[in-house]
Amino acid sequence: MSVLISDDSNFEENLSQNPLVIVKYYADWCGSCKLFAPKYKRLSNDERFQKITFLDVNAETNPEARKRGEVNNLPTFAIFKDGVLEATQSTSKEDVVIELLNKLVF
């Protein structure tokens, strides 16, 4: 599965239509966000996580989506199950993101 770009206009719809969602909140100026992008794309194609929808949200231009993910730092990853925020983690470490993904799958 690929990473879907989401914004305030379709964020709630993406959450309601997909039972398991991970969101990467980023900003264009964030170097760590840019460095993590290829890892995030690779994880989205990992068959262990095929039931999870991967979203990318620009935290600077989408305040409503940012609020839903309780974003304080970047990059931030948030997992949602049935539209409910389950956990949020600010990190640029792949193993921490994998732990979040495993919380959704298992």
Q: Where are the domains of the chain?
A: 3-105
**Regarding beta strands 53-58 and 3-6, do their DSSP bridges make them parallel or antiparallel, or are they unpaired?**
parallel
Catalytic-role residue among 21, 22, 23, 33:
33
Write down the CATH number for the domain with range 3-105: 3.40.30.10
Q: How confident is the model at residue 1 (pLDDT cuts 50, 70, 90)?
A: confident
Q: Using one digit for the tens of pLDDT, what is the confidence trace for 30-52?
A: 999 999 999 999 999 999 999 99
Count of other CB atoms within 10 angstroms of residue 1: 14
Catalytic-role residue among 30, 55, 65, 74:
30
pTM: 0.96
Q: Using one digit for the tens of pLDDT, what is the confidence trace for 50-84?
A: 999 999 999 999 999 999 999 999 999 999 999 99
pLDDT given at position 57: 98
As a dihedral over the C-alpha atoms of residue 65, residue 36, residue 53, residue 47, rounded to 10 degrees, the angle is: -170
> Catalytic annotation on 30?
yes
> Catalytic annotation on 53?
no
